[in-house]
Structure 1
Amino acid sequence: MVTSAHLPAHPTATARPGKIFLSSRDGVITVATLVAIVIHLVLWLGVGLEGWARDWPLVLVVVVGGAPLLVDVLRNAIRTRGGADTLAAVSIATSVALGEWLVAAIIVLMLSGGEALEEAATKRATGTLDALARRAPATAHRVGGEEVAVEDVAVGDELVVLPHELCPVDGEVIAGHGSMDESYLTGEPYVVSKSKGAQVISGAVNGDTPLTVVATAPARDSRYARIVGTLREAEENRPPMRRLADRLGAWYTVIALVLGALGWAISGDPMRFLAVVVVATPCPLLIGVPVAIIGAISLAAKRGIIVRNPGMLENAAQVTTIMFDKTGTLTYGRPSITDIHVAPGFEEDEVLAAAASIERYSRHPLADAIRGEAAGRGLELPDVAAVSEKPGQGLTGEVGGRFLRIANRRTAVELDPASRDLMPKSAAGMESVVLIDERYAAVIQFRDEPRAEAEKFIAHLPEKHGVDKMMIISGDRESEVRYLAGRVGVDEVHAGVSPEGKLAIVRRNNAHGKTMFLGDGINDAPAMATATVGVAMGSDSDVTSEAADAVILDSSLERLDDLLHISARMRRIALQSALGGMGLSVVGMILAVFGLLTPLAGAVAQEVIDVAAILNSARVAMARGPLSDFDED
């Protein structure tokens, strides 16, 4: 029997609850207590022994294993103002004083098992840092072929970053032309072109072309190392949460002790006190709430949501502030064409078809968007010859008998000065300039567009879920973030924010109520770990998934709505089980106060109450039909 605080993380976590359970002190006590109870029952029911000959295994395990548990419970009670476990500790002490060793052993089993599972759950933070460590660059290749450990790289060392390799340190490209995927580190959705003079950051994934870089910072001062340090700080300073069972158990414990003392005072018989605390044993809390949470985990899994931290289910439905990362959460995380500004004398489809033809041979980060737009329009692509992509010259080739170049504004103005007046004013997002026969032909502009349902979902949150504050926090440029915010209806914007900055914003908002942070990149991990509820959209990054309390596998906002409804359903049914069970227990306690329930009868009554609480809590997993009330159409 465990409280919600004692449930293990989802089994896909790096931490392995079974291994921790067996190796921890509490796990050893749990196993020893089970063995002691079995031996006791064999000696009693199988052999027919009585007294000490029957009870010695229980006495041994309660004295040796129960004492440290009692110390822990009392220490936690002082720190958290008491909870469900406090009454269980009182029950142990009372049972020992009255010689009821089997009752004491059962409660030791309950407490130690819960503590062992809680320890397994708390390994989640370590799992996040382990995932970061697994992904961190380990070796670097010096120019000349020498392979060295990353920590041995010095500022000024010239390194070769091989295709598809993680960049080992922060640096500057001194030779080569290619691209790097920095999206998980910076929050920007694009693969970034790299040529001489470009900056590179540790942890970025190189493309298909080797690059030579010079190290500008040692590994310990790299961007990746700073993210690791920020996440470690976030995990170590995460504020403790009082769980539902502890909050309810605090006042319930006081009622039980007062009634027990009253019964003892009225009758002068300490067995009255024991009868009260036996019927008061908070099993509706210690069992009912966890059963509801387990049901909610199962229900979420059926809808493509992996719950990694069960405690988040108590809080998700009560968040009042939701913070969105931009890329991959409110957007699709991939650029698409928004405008094609065509120069006089050229046709839009003509320019697009020519550009798509040559982009078939390019590794340019925007090539996919150009090819996809042409395919969507059903354009026939002309033949291409003599394709070249040299640093500083853009992508060139012969397309349909004409010379085509895809470059930037600077190159376009150098080749065709008249283009300065023909091109639109520079706007947010990214762009490619197309020149045909060295004449300016078009500017193709791109953006990471918002999800189709994003605007309606933002409007849905205050109306249906009581969310009163929403904001976008992104490492992307301010113009891009404000464009998205305007499209989806979010007023508060924080752009160009580092992982450390995201962490600080989350902490400020935590002081005013329960918060949720949604993200999908490594740079979001510290903020996720600090928010009341951290949700990862998609499972592409093991680091992000480890840091999150829940992972939405298909990155759907409708699934996020499901999660909020599952949390609300779990809380509602768990409260029914807990409050209903405690209400019936209070009735039983009053009967015990006046001697109408013996300890044995109280134990039977408590078991009936437990079964009712468990059956009611099991309803959480039995939802039929859709849970979400968000209509994206």
Structure 2
Amino acid sequence: MSNTSSPSGLVDQSRSQIAIAALAIVAIVLHLVMRYGLGRADIADFPLYVALLLGGIPLVWELLGNLVRGEFGSDLLAGISIVTAAILGEYLAGTLVVLMLSGGEALEAYAVRSASSVLEALSRRMPSQAHRQSGSSIDDVPVESIVIGDQIVLFPHEVCPIDGTVTEGHTVMDESYLTGEPYLMSKTPGSAVLSGAINGDSAITIRAEKVAKDSRYAQIMNVMQSSSQHRPQIRRLGDQLGAIYTPIALTVAFAAWIASGDPVRFLAVLVVATPCPLLIAIPVAIIGSISLAAKRAIVIRDPAVLERMDQCRTVIFDKTGTLTYGRPELVKESVVDPAQKDATLSLVGSIERYSKHPLAEAIVEAASTRDLPVLATSEISEKAGQGLRGTVGGRQLRITNRKTLLGELPHVAPDLPPPAAGLECVVMVDGEYAATYQFRDTPRAEGKSFIRHLGPQHRIERVMLLSGDRESEVRYLADRVGVTEIHAEKSPEEKLEIVRKETAAAGTIFVGDGINDAPALMAATVGIAFGQNSDVTTEAAGAVILDSSLEKVDELLHISRRMRRIALQSAVGGMAISIIGMIVAAAGYLPPVAGAITQELIDVAAVVNALRVAIRPKSLTDFDGAKTTETD
């Protein structure tokens, strides 16, 4: 099949193939209606002539171009079969081959074209206008017109259009698409902000530090564009088998012609050799597997995923949201008076129920787990950058950060625990330091057993952890789940280069869930996205796991292996029987008409076998104690 690099070329190619497939379907239906419904056998072949003329000739011409370039695949033999069928007068068979070939090319063009939709998703996410402040007025201007030094107002919940520094206001921002960290980041005057970050509940003013084309988000766009132009070049299963089958079929056909001196022998062999098991059975197995995966909350966006996945030997995980749940967990409580540990957490948990801070949920959950009482709370205030204040159970409570505490009470420095990886907050009760709480992202409970499972059950030779998060956080998670190879504090560009390098060495599976993962998802042999948090990520991935569980990754691995096995059974089995038929035809015992009937029987057998893939076996996973029962 031809490769058209530009998005417009891919659209045109896909549309032309769909048009040819539609023409073939209409022609076949009209032929059957005229021949068997109206009894007009004299004109029943006319629609087939039109389909072969308007659809078959363009396909054959394209395949001739492949032949000149030395590309031998199953589709090339199909082109020869179209010509052969036309010469033999087997117009219905020829039109069926046109339908199969054009339908397959339309699917391929759609899969390749999906890469450009990632860029469209990125573009949709980025605002085209910004609120520029001039004195007391605020004007909406195109983002491209912003220059360094402009004062930009960012309203609540808006996407930041430029890279800059906060000059006024306090807020929190979601930068997880870039940094990989699952927390909202506090922003005060002097804090750096990144284009593409999502603002919280408060308006802030930002001084532009870069023009739009040099912003961090623009860099992500450039990386994505580069990634879409360097997708892994992997031959499809049908092409691999066709590269073997096509020369065999042509050799037998020419040998029969030369040995007998009868060109009909050549035609008879090619009719039997029509590669329908390749053109139909493999797509049927793929479509059946896509349907099976969908029922298991796994969306297959690129059918090639099912062909490639079982051959991959390296798995690369992003940290946040894949091997972790993407939410903080209270992991350590350093309390001035250990006897007041539960009492302090009860106070803090009671007031945090009213907070929007990203750590609040972790504190409330910890207090709830220990069945601590919820105390009466009043006079609550939470100003960005100043912490949470209130009266809880008759006591004055304040929750803030280490820097603020030491600025007000420098004498308590010896009482504080050493700074640690992750996030933390400090608690003041009645104006005195009381406790420090430390948090980390929660590792998935099944993470360690899943990592151990990959090698023996799926022949995975290397497992890597690749993250934009701090090394201490990545190392902490790696130790918890049993991963020894880590790459921390990596930008999207660095992630992309690492994945490209690993993919060049061996097939790779990349699992991620953030926008910063999108280039790596596209560069890997197989990209898997968790959840639906970002349309950009899901567009970039070949498969999307909606339930966001590692068990679903295991199911996908088994679905891929099962599809490949059944597809190979159907295709190789069909080719083997076809080769026997070719030998019989070459010997003169199978004329063209009988050969066509024989080939149809072979096709039916191959397709029926391929249809088994849509039937769910008793188990699709052998992870976490469940034994696989893939016996079909």
TM-score (norm 2): 0.92
Q: Which amino acid aligns with 1:466?
A: R
- Paired AA for residue 133 in structure 1: S
SS at match of 1:555: coil
Query: Which residue is equivalent to 2:438?
Result: 445
Q: Does 1:28 align with 2:24?
A: no
Which range moves more in the overlay, 523-532 or 203-212? Answer: 203-212
Instruction: Give the letter for the 2:322 counterpart.
Output: T
Asked whether the equivalents of residues 155 and 215 of structure 1 are also in contact (C-alpha less than 8 Å), the reply is yes
Residue 368 of structure 1 is matched in structure 2 by 361
- The equivalent of 1:544 in structure 2 is 537
Deviation of residue 103 (structure 1)?
Answer: 3.9
Match of residue 126, structure 2, among 115, 128, 136: 136
Q: Which moved more, 1:147-156 or 1:611-620?
A: 147-156
- TM-superposition CA deviations, 1:454-487 (whole Å, max 9, x none): 0000000001100001111101001000110111
Q: CA offset at residue 403 of structure 1? A: 2.6
| Equivalent residue runs for 1:146-185 within 5 Å | 146-185=139-178
Q: How do 1:192-341 residues align onto structure 2 when only pairs under 5 Å count?
A: 192-341=185-334
Structure 2 residue identity aligned to 1:31: A
2:104 to 90, 106, 114: 114
Q: CA deviation at 1:241?
A: 1.7
- Who is 1:10 aligned against? none
Deviation at 1:413, TM superposition (A): 2.3
- CA displacement, residues 573-619 of structure 1 (integer Å, 9 cap, x when unaligned): 11100111111111111100011101111111111111111111111
Q: Is the 8 A contact 1:430 1:447 kept in 2?
A: yes
State the partner residue of 2:419.
426
Deviates more, 1:412-421 or 1:163-172: 412-421
SS state at 2:202 partner: coil
Alignment of 1:214-613 (within 5 A): 214-344=207-337, 347-390=340-383, 392-613=385-606
Instruction: Report deviation, 1:278.
Output: 0.6
Q: Which amino acid aligns with 1:159?
A: I
Q: Is the 8 A contact 2:387 2:401 kept in 1?
A: yes
| Counterpart Cα distance in 2 of 1:97 and 1:400 | 93
Q: CA deviation at 1:371?
A: 1.7
Aligned CA distance change for structure 1 residues 273 and 187 (closer, same or farther; 3 Å): same
CA RMSD, aligned part only? 2.4
C-alpha spacing 1:619/1:392, structure 2 compared with 1 (3 Å):
closer
AA at the equivalent of 2:476: Y
Residue 325 of structure 2: SS of its match in structure 1?
A: coil
User: What secondary structure sits across from 2:327 in the alignment?
Assistant: coil
Q: Deviations over 1:387-434 (max 9, x none)?
A: 333455432333333332222222222333332112111111000011
Q: Contact conserved, 2:268 with 2:592, CA < 8 A, in 1?
A: yes
Q: Deviations over 1:240-287 (max 9, x none)?
A: 221111100111111111111111122211111111111111111111
Give the corresponding residue for 2:183.
Answer: 190
SS at match of 2:396: strand
The TM-score with structure 1 as length reference comes to 0.92
Q: CA deviation at 1:385?
A: 3.4
Give the equivalent residue in structure 1 for 2:630: none
Cα distance, 1:404–1:69 mapped onto 2, change above 3 Å? same
The offset of 1:28, in angstroms, is 2.4
- Cα gap change, 1:392/1:65 in structure 2, threshold over 3 Å: closer, same or farther? closer
Change in 2 beyond 3 A, CA 1:48/1:576: same
Pair 1:478–1:99, CA change in 2 (3 A): same
Q: Secondary structure of 1:336's match?
A: strand
1:41-91, Cα deviation, whole Å (9 max, x unpaired): 6666646565xx775554454344333312322333555731111111122
- State the distance in 1 between where 2:569 and 2:296 align: 24
d(CA) in 1 for partners of 2:415 and 2:18?
A: 74
SS at match of 1:242: coil
Match of 2:114 among 108, 124, 141: 124
How far 1:326 sits from its partner (Å)?
A: 0.2
Taking every aligned residue pair, what percent have the same amino acid on both sides?
54
- Write the letter of the residue equivalent to 1:136: M
Q: Deviations over 1:558-578 (max 9, x none)?
A: 010000000000001111001
- Aligned partners of 2:194 and 2:529: how far apart in 1? 23
Distance change (3 Å), C-alpha of 1:48 and 1:439: closer
SS at match of 1:363: coil
Q: Give the distance between the partners of 2:376 and 2:70, measured in 1 at CA.
A: 73
Question: How many residue pairs end up in the alignment?
Answer: 617
| Partner deviation per Cα, 1:420-451 (whole Å, 9 max, x = no partner) | 11211111100001122332211100000210
Displacement of 1:535 in angstroms is 0.2
Structure 2: gaps of 5 or more residues: 627-632
Q: CA deviation at 1:39?
A: 5.2
Distance 1:349 1:323 in 2: 40
Question: Cα gap change, 1:432/1:48 in structure 2, threshold over 3 Å: closer, same or farther?
Answer: closer
CA deviation after TM superposition for structure 1 residue 488, in Å? 0.5
Cα distance between partner residues in 2 of 1:78 and 1:314: 27
Equivalent position of 2:79 in the other structure = 89
Contact 1:457 1:630 in 2 (8 A): yes
Whole-angstrom distance in 1 between the partners of 2:558 and 2:549: 15
Secondary structure of 1:146's counterpart equals strand
Instruction: Give a deviation string over 1:538-561, Cα, whole Å, max 9, x none.
Output: 112111111111111010000100
1:26 partner letter: Q
- Residue 101 of structure 1 and its aligned partner are, at CA, apart by 4.2
| Structure-2 separation of matches of 1:140 and 1:410 | 33
Check whether the contact 1:475–1:495 (CA below 8 A) recurs between aligned residues.
yes
Q: In the alignment, residue 64 of structure 2 is paired with which amino acid?
A: L
Query: Residue 361 of structure 1 aligns to a residue in which SS?
Result: coil
User: In structure 2, what is the Cα distance between the partners aligned to 1:203 and 1:547?
Assistant: 18
Where does the alignment leave 5 or more consecutive residues of structure 1 unmatched? 7-14
- Per mean C-alpha deviation after superposition, the further-off stretch among 176-185 and 89-98 is 89-98
Counterparts of 2:575 and 2:600 in 1: how far apart (Å)? 12
**In 2, Cα distance between equivalents of 1:207 and 1:259:** 71
